[in-house]
Chains A and B, each alone.
Chain A
Amino acid sequence: MMTSITLRNITKTYEGCREPAVENFNLEIQPGELVAFLGPSGCGKTTTLKMIAGLHSVTGGDVLFNGVRVNEVKPEKREVVMVYQNYLLFPYMNVEENVGFGLRMRKVPKAEIAERVEEILRLVKLEGYGKRSPAQLSGGQKQRVALARALVIRPKILLLDEPLANLDAHLRDEMRDLILKIHKSFEVTTVFVTHDQEEAVLLADRIALIFDGKLVQYSPSKDFYEKPASEKIAKFFGNENIIHGTRSGSAVSTVLGGFTVRPDLEVPDGEVSMLIRPESIKLGKTGGNGFLFRITKKIYMGTYTRYAIEAGGIELDVTGDSHDLPGYEEEREAWFSFQPEKIWLIPRKNEAEPLKAGSCSDRT
């Protein structure tokens, strides 16, 4: 049976810290889901992971597995395994002994341990490495041993702390595929921590975005691009195309003039931020929402062309196709149009304060 995780009003305040590292955290993770905790370093994501593992106690709130409160359950009894960023292979044990560690703790018969260890080593493509010492392994191999060691006990929940952070680019792809494969075949509810939004998007079913110990948005990764909850979130996901304006129904008035937007967006009339992704701005004056901009920079990228455009003090990024349109050159004025259905609105009151570094938090 797969396990769901519920975090209810979780708060963690470290001893000697005034500010909580994690505050009022509410989260529901479905059985068998693959969720990313995403945020800048020191935002409390590893702390939250350790609270799920039971390695850190909660200051307030409840942790529930399948609806059952586990606050008082010791980490060794939770059937939750954490894989650390730096692998933490026990140096006095060889690969086999490392992988079999959890099984030995569960008093599994020796013959079965040997069999299961061999099987899992085959899965992570490390057959024949059993007798090696951790010092003889490369970073990617260590990571795979750490994963095997966690999976061999068939945990209910798998927690990965920055699983790709210490790997080279080409190993990252390999490891990412392995994690996806493992997650599918073991049907294990998986949570991983990362500071890299690209990594989160590539791997996770859903992303929990955490700023300063608070959950700011929890949704499928696509929504972070198309429907961010605040300007800060949009910027974290690399979208700087923001125009401030005042909304009234399907019209938003800005310094550039009136924009038409979808009338069904659930944002009250008044002060709003308009968000539009660089690829949703079209060259030319097609339909409505066309405005005249000055092109400040044009970069040919091969399959597409990037434009930096400016009008009325507003600077935007545009990703156009590489078919040159006449007149779309640097320092020239040209028309750009905004598809109404691709414009996303955020009420201005949602504006969060700027990112501040975690003042007193976990080591990560």
Chain B
Amino acid sequence: MKIEDGKPNPIQWMIYLGILVGVIGPLIPQFIWPFAKSWFYPDLIPSAWGMRAWQYIGNPNNQVLEAVVNSVLIAVIVTVISILLGVPAGRALGMYRFKGRELVELLILAPSIIPGLAVTMGIHVMFIKLGLADTMFGVILVHLIPTIPYMTISMSGIFANYDPDFEEQAKSLGASTFKTFFLITLPAVFPGIVTGAMFSFLISWGQYLLTVLIGGGRVITLPLLLFSFASSRDNMLTSALSIIFLLPAILILVFTSKFLSGKSSGLGGFGNI
């Protein structure tokens, strides 16, 4: 597709503006709250400013830092495992025709169709027996339920457009299996892996229900803290935490647009060339 140069017309400008207001608008109070001391209706801005929220977050006794570390750790490990399992699975689904392929595809999709709550209770009972409940390892395992299907399905789309003949060609020119993978296969599917990984990270990062059920309140992550502050109506702390919570999403957004813009052909593998 060719992107044409030129300026948007007034109607397009209106639409852009509407989207911008819709997206940014609700975020504005969120960035004001953490710096407020008191802010009551109907004041447009807080009547008094303060840093209480940030002091609370910075205090090591308050579990916030622990929660951030836990969240990052869990999300990173979950993402790595999702890549390691999702890429080969996606390749098999996208490239090979084998018996029972439809069944495998359905089973992989199943976790995203069935409500998480319904299965998690059963898993919880099993995890208690296995000694996995209330542990970080248990939480990581349960986070994989939504992320592996996501990774697998998006990689199968990438591999469906991928031409394995490129690998044969490389081998026939003298490349070992190892070099073929790193020089030919990986560059072709890398943008897909990056996209899949970023979304896997975000899915794990934002997970509340699975973490609270399997972690049993012992494994504290950011969404858990956020929920408890939100339900105790502490607007300053909730907003401050929300900003931290938003950070990876914003970073990923910026990174994606930088990394993938102009390389969108890579999303389809070699097939689009």
Contact = CB atoms under 8 A, between A and B. Distances in A.
Nearest to A87: B169
A349 to B, nearest CB: 40
Given A91-B273, A135-B273, A102 B173 contact: yes
Interface string A78-89: 001110101010
Q: Which of A80, A88, A102 has the most CB of B within 10 A?
A: A88
Contacts, number: 59
Contacts of B172: 53, 55, 75-76, 80-82
17 contacts: A16-B99, A53-B168, A53-B172, A75-B168, A76-B173, A76-B176, A77-B174, A80-B172, A81-B172, A88-B165, A101-B170, A105-B173, A105-B175, A105-B176, A134-B273, A135-B273, A150-B173
B179 A82 contact: no
B109 interface: no
B187 interface: yes
Contact of B174 (A76, A90, A134): A76
Contacts of A55: 168, 171-172
Interface of B: 99, 163, 165-166, 168-176, 179, 183-184, 187-188, 265, 270, 273
Q: Which of B173, B187, B270 has the most CB of A within 10 A?
A: B173
Given A16-B99, A74-B171, 5 more contacts: A76-B171, A90-B170, A91-B273, A92-B187, A105-B173
B102 to A, nearest CB: 16
A165 B163 CA distance: 19
Contacts of A74: 171
A19 B171 CA distance: 28
Contacts of A88: 163, 165-166, 169
Nearest to A80: B172
A134 to B, nearest CB: 7
Q: Which of B166, B169, B184, B187 has the most CB of A within 10 A?
A: B169
Q: Top 4 nearest A-B pairs by Cβ distance?
A: A105-B174, A102-B173, A91-B273, A88-B169
A149 interface: yes
A281 interface: no
